[in-house]
Structure formats: C-alpha cells, structure tokens
Structure 1
Amino acid sequence: MTNVEAIEIWQKSHWIFSIYTQCLIICLRRFENEIKVGNVNNAGIELETAAELMLASARAMELAGSFSQEVFQNQVRPLMMPPNVKSEDFSALMHWDHAHLMTVLKTIQPLYKALPVSLQPQHNKFISAYKVVCASHKTVCQKFGGGEAGSLRAPEHTAVDMLDKFERNRLRLIDPNNQAGGGCPFHSNKSSE
C-alpha cells in the first residue's frame, strides 16, 4: 500500500464515519419522536437501526486503521497538525456532527431513564453496539501508538486513556440506569419485542 492510498483510506473512512454519525442523529431524533407519541414499536425499530449504524461505524473505524503504524506516524498524523490544520489540538470532537450528536444524546437521556421494559432488548443492543465502536476506536488508536503517546487534543494523557474517559461519559448518557446486561445481544436467540 502506498502512502497516498493510506491517506485516502484514512480520509474516506472518516467521511463514512461522519455520514453514519449524521444518520445516527436522524435515527435518534426519530426514536425521540416515536417515544413522545407513544409508538413503542417504531421506537424499537429506531433503536435497532441506531445499533446497526453504530456497528457500521465500528467497521469504518477499523478500515481507517488498515495500514502500518509507520505510515500513520509519518504520513497521516502530520496532516492533523499545524500547518495542515489551524488548531494545535485537532480532534474529531470538533466536527459539527459530533457536537450535534452529543447534544442529541444529552437531550434524550431522560427517555432512557423511563424506557418501556419492552424496549430493553433494543436498548441493550444499542449500548452493546456503542461498546463495539469504542473497542474498534481503541484498537486502531493502540495500533498507531495511542496506548503510549498522547492524543493531539490532550498530549498529557494517552489517547487510549482519553477514549476510555469518553466511553464512560457517553455510557452514562445512553445507559443512565446502568441496566445493560453482559453478553452480546446480537447473538441472542431471543426475539425483539
């Protein structure tokens, strides 16, 4: 793989990730609306769809890491630093779609606190899918040295430590009652209600 191909993979897989983030925003807003009008079945469909979008996001993240650490350090990471970007602490957290997703997650958190029991299987899938995204992101980050080195945004902390912190904070938003069980609901023989 050439350096140009690696940069193209990095950029395009992040574009795909951004598209999934935008789709997730739409899906979660639809979930919110369905809950508010009392349409539990459609709300469940939206949570299932949100889980699938999360899993697709994880695959995009894995694709982003499909080249060597050397190529990342020498070719890709410098593109996220001055003079190639205007910020000293560049991060995907700066993207408008990520910021808007965080607003949506904060807005709908009360819905998870009072979620109908019949939606718990879909909610568990959504939480599990989020954990898959986090694991994929950390795996790519570790591959590129993020377990030992700081992130661009917080050089005093390892990038993986920062991802752990973000994961804990977001889990509090999507699972405020801390009810998600262990195991993987994607491999369950139980049908969703």
Structure 2
Amino acid sequence: MNNFHGEAQQIWKVFHWSFFINTQGLIICLNRLEMKLAVGNISAAQIELETAAELMMASGAAMELAGSFSRQEYESQVRPSMTPPYVQSADFSGLMSWEHSWLVKIWKRLRPVFERLPADLEPQHHQLVSAYFSLAKSHKAVCEKFGGGESGSLRCDKNTAVDILDRFSQNRWRLIDPNFKISDGCPFH
C-alpha cells in the first residue's frame, strides 16, 4: 500500500474508533442479557448473546483493518503518536479506556451466569466464545505484524506484547467460559 504521510495513523485511529463503538454495543448487549436472564426471558437472552457475538466479530474485523499498513509505517507514524508528548501517559493503552473497564466488570458479574447457563442458551454462548477467540486472534495477529512478538507493549517491556495479550485473553476466556466448554478456535490450543 502506497500511503501519503499520515494515512497509516488515520487508518489506525478510524478502525480503533470502530472497535470501541462495537465494544460499546457489546456492553449494552451484555447488560441487556443480564436483565433478560433475571426475568427468565430466554428467547430475548438468545438474541442478546447472538448480537454480542456479532459485535465481537465486527470488533475483530475492525482490529484487522486497523493494521492494514506496513510495519515501517506503524513504527514511524503510529507508535510514536501513542507515546509522550503526544499522549499524557507513559503507559498508554486501550486497557485505560472506560469501555475496557466496563466490559471486564460486566464479564466478571456474568461469570456465575455463564457457569450455570441454561441449556437453551448454549449454542449462542458457543457463538459468543468463538467470536471472542476470533477477536483475540485478530488482535494478536496485528500485534505480531507490528513486532509485538519481539518486544514489549507500550505499557510493559518485561514481556513481549504478544505474551501479554495471550495472558489477558486467557483471563477473559475464564470469565466468559468458566467451564471451558468451548476450545475450538481457541488461540491457545
């Protein structure tokens, strides 16, 4: 891809915005799932789980598109824009976003629900976990493309960025599939 100066950074920003919009929709779906389950509305809960899976798949696609330029462009244009003085944090990360914080809180709250999920919701739950694995693989692939298998993340130089993503992904998997029923497509097996 032959980019004019700054296009890589624009691609990175636009598709991360899309990622976060999908994450906001996921937060809404999971909150609605919790409400539907509380009143025993299984058919509405099925719809929320299906929609959540679709939003996670869309997030994975946005992540892949966010990395649709060269490693050289990432290193020269994008990565520097995520460090001081361009940001006010020495350890800038999507982990710092309110969306990430809310999503993890909801998954923690839903963990016991996922442990005792009604059988009627198992197909939709399988879709959700599979979509999460797809998203995790997409995130890892972009990270690897830009050198994350060789060096640390913006937040941590002690481990490679890919190792950190794997650890985070395993922790998220424990929240959304606490019985480990679904492993096909798992980025760790």
Superposition TM-score, scaled by structure 2 size: 0.95
Choose the corresponding residue for 2:18, options 16, 19, 31. Answer: 16
Structure 1's 127 and 79: CA in aligned 2 closer, same or farther, altered over 3 A? same
Is contact 1:113-1:176 (8 Å) kept? yes
Alignment of 1:26-175 (within 5 A): 26-175=28-177
Match for 2:111: what amino acid?
Q
Identity of aligned residues (%): 55
Match for 1:53: what amino acid?
L
Cα distance in 2, alignment partners of residues 94 and 12 from structure 1: 18
Cα distance in 1, alignment partners of residues 139 and 4 from structure 2: 23
Match for 1:52: what amino acid?
E
Report how far residue 98 of structure 1 moved: 0.9
Q: Please give the secondary structure, in 1, of the residue aligned with 2:31.
A: helix
Match for 1:61: what amino acid?
M
Q: Please give the secondary structure, in 1, of the residue aligned with 2:30.
A: helix
Is contact 2:60-2:135 (8 Å) kept? yes
Q: Please give the secondary structure, in 2, of the residue aligned with 1:149.
A: coil
Cα distance in 1, alignment partners of residues 185 and 139 from structure 2: 20
Give the number of equivalent residue pairs. Answer: 184
Is contact 1:148-1:158 (8 Å) kept? yes
Deviations 1:36-57 (A, max 9, x none): 1001111011000000000000
Dislocated runs of 4+, deviation >4 Å: none
What residue in structure 2 maps to residue 191 of structure 1? none
What residue in structure 2 maps to residue 2 of structure 1? 4
Is contact 2:133-2:185 (8 Å) kept? no
What residue in structure 2 maps to residue 190 of structure 1? none
Cα distance in 2, alignment partners of residues 111 and 3 from structure 1: 49
Structure 1: 5+ residue runs without aligned partners? 185-193
What residue in structure 2 maps to residue 188 of structure 1? none
Structure 2: 5+ residue runs without aligned partners? none
Is contact 2:149-2:162 (8 Å) kept? yes
Cα distance in 1, alignment partners of residues 185 and 105 from structure 2: 29
Structure 1's 45 and 86: CA in aligned 2 closer, same or farther, altered over 3 A? same
Report how far residue 4 of structure 1 moved: 1.4
